[in-house]
Structure 1
Amino acid sequence: MTGRGHPGMLLTCACLVLAQGFCRATAQNIPDSDCLVCHSDRTLTKTNDAGREISLFVDEAQLRNSVHKTNTCSSCHTDITPKHPDDEVPAARVDCGRCHAEQTRSYGASVHGQALAAGRADAATCQDCHGTHDVLPPTSAQSPLHFSRQADTCGQCHPGEAADVAASVHGQAAARGVRDAPTCTDCHSEHRIEALSTGQPRRIAEKVCSRCHASERISTKYHLPPDRVKTFFDSYHGLASRYGSTVAANCASCHGWHKILPSTHPESTIHPQRLVETCGKCHPGATENFARSRVHVDLAASPADADLGTRINWWVRRIYLTLIVLVIGSMFLHNILLFLKKIAARLRRADRPILRMDRSQRWQHGLLALTFIVLAVTGFALKFPDSWIAWMLGSSEPLRRWAHRIAGLLLLVLGAYHLLYILTRPEGRRLIRDLWPTRRDLRDLLAAAGYLTGLSRQKPRFGRFGYVEKMEYWAVVWGTVIMGITGLMIWFKIPVTQWIPRWAVDVALTIHYYEAVLACLAIVVWHFYHVIFDPDVYPINPACWDGRVSRHWMEEEHPLDESLRSPSTPTPDPHPNPVPTGQPNATPQPPASPDPPAPA
């Protein structure tokens, strides 16, 4: 159809629109004045599900001053119809989650929400804490959730706890108007109310009490001891809770839960006259001498104002620390000097005529090792600033950052020099030819697997370099490229993000970290075994120092190396294959070498 349309259809549409508007008006747009006809009566009450009589009176003036002053009655009571109350259908509980979804989800996970879901009619609801028609912001002094009135509000259901809080140092401070005094919600959370009586000791100390007692601002402002959380975790109880104990004493075990009082108060659980009783809860048979033990002991603090036992303990600690440094330091120095002497004597006695690494290669290997160690130490110190590695560097973030960057630049410069070395020097070109992977490397790897697992009695024979050296060498090349690119992206993230998305830098940071973990583990597990822990070279392969190894070692590990051949000895294999020496950059040379012979 075209034109003005069919008259019957237009009439039908008009009826539907009118009906929809009528339904919306009856269900949602009931005037507040209609509700107040009954609810302005101060005597109007009902008995709720918990059996308590509650008032249904609505003070229009309070409603207009509340946070819901722009709401209408029907916008909250969406179930009410114009037939109410003649239909004798009681108003349903207001669903606050329609406007306060996040708070409602938190409430659902609380002890109150769980109790309500379990059918407890007396469980606290939103209205019990916030009020009904007179809801005010918590900053208002008239609000039931104002810090000065919270104990009274919670006390409607928890009168005993409220009385204890009112008598405690926290309640007394709140009564004086101290805003920093902890209230019920400061300890138990706001909507996701927690039952701390079953909480983990570590959580209570870290997440509850430490909110105030580890705060420098609060400790300074109210002249509180600043170290109470730290010294607790340094104590036996704190250490036990940190390592997962669920029965170790926490802050509340000694100080109480709600009625927390200073140690000078006769009713305090830590008063000298009650310490035996308090300690005896966990330590049956505790005596007065046992109870005199201090929990919050700062071993580094000055003993000037401490008791006799603390002063003696302080001096004993200082004496032992000095003794440990002197005795163990002297032992360490003695053994290091003895170790170096014996290594030097062993090198002088050893018959090591074969040159494995020339002087240039030894310098490259040494600089590579140095930059790698610096990068590993400073990198992990940057990643974990609270670790002992960071502490060893003086906990200086600028020092860690710039030492890491400088070492990274040196590694890139060393990589560039090595590239020129293998392109321009005859020794370098020979090095890259011998380190180039071949199909025989795979056959050697399979043969080595059979030999190591006992499936074969034939030990693989290698030439100058084998799969071990080749894996190490190309891993270093790969790691240097990856770490260099990602490191520069992280360092110069502002210019980089002018060309690529910011998430690329985050990905580079992830790659940088896990590549560093992979490289460090490979060095410790793979490289260190071949150059240090291998029984044939322990305590270290000396080729990294003077480049030379013994003929016996070469015949055992590299029987196909050209340096073992002589004019009268036929070549055992027309296609000699490289073999591992444990030196990633190891470069065996022919007997004729510019280096002088090793000393006898």
Structure 2
Amino acid sequence: MKKHTTYHFGVMALVLMLLCIFSTPMSWAKKESKEICLECISVGQCLDCHEEIDNGTFAASSHGSNACTSCHRDIYDLEKHADCEVPMQPVKCGFCHKEVAKQYTQSVHADNDVGCTDCHANIHEMKSFGGDKTKVIQMCSGCHDNEDYLQSVHGKGLMAGNPDSPSCSDCHGLHDIKEMHVDDTHSTAALEAREFHTKSCQKCHADPEMMQRNNVYTLAFKTYEHDYHGKVEHLGGATYVAGCADCHTAHKQLPADDSESSISKEGLVETCGACHPKANNNFVQYMPHADYHDKENYPLLYWTFIAMTGLLLSTFAFFWLHTVLWLIRSYIEKNELHKQGIFVPHAQNPKVFYKRFTTLEMILHFAMMVSFIALVLSGLPLKFNHAPWAQGLANLMGGPQIAGLIHRWAAVVTFSYFGTTIIWVIYFLFIKQTGETFLQKLFGPDSLCPRKKDLDDV
């Protein structure tokens, strides 16, 4: 029995050895046969049938160093292909152009079934652009209307030979072209599309050297960033504000003195009216690219900036000084009471209370505190929009749009309590009968105006 079992094991081992010996060369031969066929099929053999392709032209093209089967990899048996047994399949350009294919799959062209050959029509004659931007224009114009672009300062500059003037690909890219019209305005794609209106222009207009050698305003992008539109855009609110292309159009950028320009005197009301329906001639006097640091060209804006900055700093300085002095005075008074053995004021007569503020004054103080905090929290992200914490703080309030609403409502409250205070002061000084003169009311012990005793208390 043992001998019989050993015999069977021996037969099985022999069979396995034979399988290993014969199967490996056969599979290798099959694979090698295919590779040999691919290598042996020459361009000349293919052109014997495909006479529409000129050998010299193909050799001079970008793909001239490749064999036909470098692209048509499904054809490995020429005889079967000639007999139509191996039909030619669509070429997969991504086999070689991997990075380009990766970009393409995420582009608007891929979403709309625009393939490689729709742009690179005659692949057998195609040559490198060699930096010639006009060829990009010609290619894109096969599907897209270029009339506005050719009339623009960009198009005219490029056609005149200015290498700094942008072509389609300088703004949109070549293969990673994104969708510009997104229906869902709250989506990430919509935000990216809106940001494109600014970022694509920034590539050139944020370069002072390029702008200077082309005699273009060098501070266009910097002043946009200082403008309300630019600040909100930087905080992630590009879907709520205008970008460069919204005012200057996407393709027909013309000088302001051109009557057909979107930023001409004749066209500004319509341009601004796209976002601001009530825009009129007074509204469009606004200067979006004015530099408030330029005292010579924008004196009113410059001095307004100085005045508002001074007001802001002086207000903060006054309140901080007031708070510090109050704390110092409070400490001194408590320290004096402690020396007298009084640790709880009015403990000797707990029934005596002093009401410092009237009901109206408490309401005004509460309104001031709430509105002030709201103004600070909603205004600081806009003022310091490039700070690392700015966008997070704005998002905490619901985004730039909600932060703007909070800021405006807080401003309404501020003007309300300010107006109420002015009315109350007028009533107190001129109407209320207290038996005191005007100056006594103005600088008396019940007045908030500074007086000599305040210095003595300090």
- TM bracket, shorter-chain basis: 0.5 to 0.7
CA contact (8 A) 1:231 1:298 kept: yes
Deviation at 1:326, TM superposition (A): 4.4
**TM-score w.r.t. structure 2 length?**
0.61
Deviation at 1:68, TM superposition (A): 2.5
C-alpha distance 388-113 of structure 1, shift in aligned 2 (>3 A): closer
Q: Which amino acid aligns with 2:99?
A: E
Deviation at 1:173, TM superposition (A): 1.6
User: Matches of 2:166 and 2:74 in 1, distance apart?
Assistant: 39
List alignment gaps of at least 5 residues for structure 2.
Answer: 1-9, 11-16, 183-189, 342-383, 390-458
Is 1:179 the counterpart of 2:190? The answer is no
CA contact (8 A) 1:169 1:261 kept: yes
The one of 254, 257, 265 aligned to 1:261: 254
C-alpha distance 274-17 of structure 1, shift in aligned 2 (>3 A): closer
User: Matches of 1:89 and 1:15 in 2, distance apart?
Assistant: 23
User: Matches of 1:197 and 1:173 in 2, distance apart?
Assistant: 27
User: Matches of 1:345 and 1:9 in 2, distance apart?
Assistant: 103
C-alpha distance 179-334 of structure 1, shift in aligned 2 (>3 A): same
RMSD over aligned CA atoms reads 3.6
Q: Which amino acid aligns with 1:129?
A: H
Deviation at 1:213, TM superposition (A): 1.2
The one of 225, 233, 247 aligned to 1:233: 225
C-alpha distance 281-90 of structure 1, shift in aligned 2 (>3 A): farther
C-alpha distance 16-106 of structure 1, shift in aligned 2 (>3 A): closer
Q: Which has the higher contact order (CA 8 A, sep 6+)?
A: 1
Question: Share of identical aligned residues, percent?
Answer: 29
User: CA-to-partner distance for each residue in 1:423-454, whole Å, 9 max, x for gaps?
Assistant: xxxxxxxxxxxxxxxxxxxxxxxxxxxxxxxx
The 5 A counterparts of 1:314-353 are 314-326=302-314, 328-330=316-318, 332-350=320-338
Deviation at 1:325, TM superposition (A): 3.9
The one of 179, 196, 200 aligned to 1:195: 179
C-alpha distance 181-352 of structure 1, shift in aligned 2 (>3 A): farther
**SS of the residue 2:125 aligns to:** coil
The 5 A counterparts of 1:127-166 are 128-129=119-120, 131-139=122-130, 146-158=132-144, 160=145, 162-166=146-150
User: CA-to-partner distance for each residue in 1:81-139, whole Å, 9 max, x for gaps?
Assistant: 413343176522211111122211110110111222xxxxxx24256238512343342
**SS of the residue 2:91 aligns to:** coil
Corresponding residue for 1:246? 239
Corresponding residue for 1:215? 207
C-alpha distance 350-89 of structure 1, shift in aligned 2 (>3 A): same
CA contact (8 A) 2:229 2:241 kept: yes
CA contact (8 A) 1:112 1:125 kept: no
Corresponding residue for 2:292? 299
User: Matches of 2:321 and 2:28 in 1, distance apart?
Assistant: 96
Corresponding residue for 2:280? 287
User: Matches of 1:348 and 1:70 in 2, distance apart?
Assistant: 98
The one of 196, 210, 228 aligned to 1:204: 196
User: Matches of 1:275 and 1:266 in 2, distance apart?
Assistant: 10
Is 1:39 the counterpart of 2:25? The answer is no
Corresponding residue for 1:108? 105
Deviation at 1:185, TM superposition (A): 1.6
Corresponding residue for 2:379? none
User: Matches of 1:127 and 1:66 in 2, distance apart?
Assistant: 18
User: Matches of 2:130 and 2:302 in 1, distance apart?
Assistant: 48
The one of 54, 59, 66 aligned to 2:61: 66
The 5 A counterparts of 1:408-487 are none
- Count of matched residue positions in the alignment of Structure 1 and Structure 2: 322
C-alpha distance 13-323 of structure 1, shift in aligned 2 (>3 A): closer
C-alpha distance 12-328 of structure 1, shift in aligned 2 (>3 A): closer
**TM-score w.r.t. structure 1 length?**
0.48
C-alpha distance 206-290 of structure 1, shift in aligned 2 (>3 A): closer
User: CA-to-partner distance for each residue in 1:300-334, whole Å, 9 max, x for gaps?
Assistant: 222x234xxxx434333323433444465345435
Deviation at 1:152, TM superposition (A): 0.8
User: Matches of 2:237 and 2:32 in 1, distance apart?
Assistant: 62
**SS of the residue 2:329 aligns to:** helix
User: CA-to-partner distance for each residue in 1:1-31, whole Å, 9 max, x for gaps?
Assistant: 9xxxx99998987776655544434455312
CA contact (8 A) 2:256 2:263 kept: yes
Corresponding residue for 1:78? 73
Q: Which amino acid aligns with 1:275?
A: L
User: Matches of 2:157 and 2:261 in 1, distance apart?
Assistant: 17
Deviation at 1:202, TM superposition (A): 5.4
User: Matches of 2:308 and 2:197 in 1, distance apart?
Assistant: 31
